A and B are shown apart, each in its own frame.
Chain A
């Protein structure tokens, strides 16, 4: 049994060779590793806004997504809004979930683990007394986020736990959410 035969059996749709190649190339040329991600947001009406992403910078030049992606954000009707889209904090959960899940697939491929199904369920608790300014001791954001993975794969329970742990270790959004980030907001 060789590594090659295992690798041809396991297919999670992740091109590990390409990822490892990129890692090697960017180790040699660290300037190319400097990326800038962008989003544009336009107010529509009330709490409804429409955001788009298309261009980003990386590998030393401007890059484009295949198409422009758009995202409507709003608040639900119980906030007297029209509910034209997910709330911004739900987008944060979506970002975290999709980042961790992509990581699970990549790490599984690298470790020769065939995934059959991966489902993440996320919950972020929030006390509205923060954003409503009722109690200054309560923070605006989540008081915690709970992610629960249900994974069916050709691996032991500990190996699956290790996949999920490694995915957190390498996740950009997990880092963004768990560590402070300087944010500069300017008005033109």
Chain B
């Protein structure tokens, strides 16, 4: 966004509560790599130019990438400035920080969708003696005491952590609700490449049937590894991880799991097949069938006959519960009445219902790719056009 504003000569500052790339430095686990291949790491006017376009960046590489970009675009970043409140102030906003106040005509909220680790309502009912941890605090399995671990949530985070924790010798049970299954590689190409070329990632928020549902779709089961492995429930079952249904509640000392495991797996398998059908149709239409491997399908998700419906947490089998149950943005400092009753921000493709206020980087904000690094470019261009019109420096028409 800063680059797009500079291109339009709009005077601005970027406030970061820590160093540049703060959350990548301080809030990620050690083994994490990006889920998107290097060729996809691009920001306005800038892209990965190393020798491994199909690889996946480690956290230190991501930090370097973003820090180099900040230097490349000479972003006017003020680091270690924490915003404490934002309120409307005449024609603009007053931003209070621990380093003083700023007044601005327009404000872009780019603090991300992953600020708070969400935990279920019944998390408080976990019996004493069980340690609970969220992915924000988790770094590596060595942090956890020996013994069984219940990983709750089967998106990318839950699967990756279930895998490394189980391999560390701590028996993992994985509670699986609705999830999105994707192979890493299909017909010899990265799934992100397919979704990019056939236009899935560019699908716009005003083109999909049900944007509320699309924005709530969990992150896909993907992992970035040098071996380009696919991380799915079958891979975890193969190493001995035990699958149970969605964590439904706690009754006394008993953790209760939904009996819907078979259906959530069927939903994910069917949805993956529909995506692969779309890809196959596109490849045939484009005459690409000769250039890539033949279409094929993946084994359906294996579910045992009678998955456990409860685990007695007082029996010592489970020592730790890891809540991989999603993230939420943090708007606790936003004193502008733009939140819905569930605490989400009301916006139309990033244009918030308060003049001059914008939001970036949320799931499916303007496009399916909006929450990815490479999704920022198109969104920032669109929103900076609107912003420029609003502050009276625009020559082009704003997107609605």
Contacts and interface: CB of A to CB of B under 8 A. Distances in A.
Interface of A: 30, 143-144, 158, 161-162, 165-166, 168-169, 174-175, 177-180
Interface in B344-384: none
B44 interface: no
A169 B213 CA distance: 13
Given A179-B256, A180-B248, 17 more contacts: A143-B306, A158-B270, A158-B273, A161-B270, A165-B263, A165-B266, A165-B270, A168-B260, A168-B263, A169-B263, A169-B267, A178-B258, A178-B259, A178-B260, A179-B246, A179-B249, A180-B256
Interface in B238-268: 245-246, 248-249, 251, 256, 258-260, 263, 266-267
* Interface of chain A: mostly helix, strand, loop or mixed: helix
A180 B270 contact: no
A182 B273 CA distance: 37
Contacts of A158: 270, 273-274
Contacts of B256: 179-180
Contact of B270 (A30, A162, A177): A162
A179 B248 contact: yes
A159 to B, nearest CB: 9
Contacts of B260: 168, 174-175, 178-179
B11 to A, nearest CB: 40
A166 B249 contact: no
Contacts of B258: 178-179
Nearest to A30: B341
A30 B340 CA distance: 12
A19 B237 CA distance: 40
A165 B270 CA distance: 9
Interface string B141-174: 0000000000000000000000000000000000
Contacts of B263: 165, 168-169, 174
A177 to B, nearest CB: 7
Contacts of A174: 260, 263
A168 B263 CA distance: 7
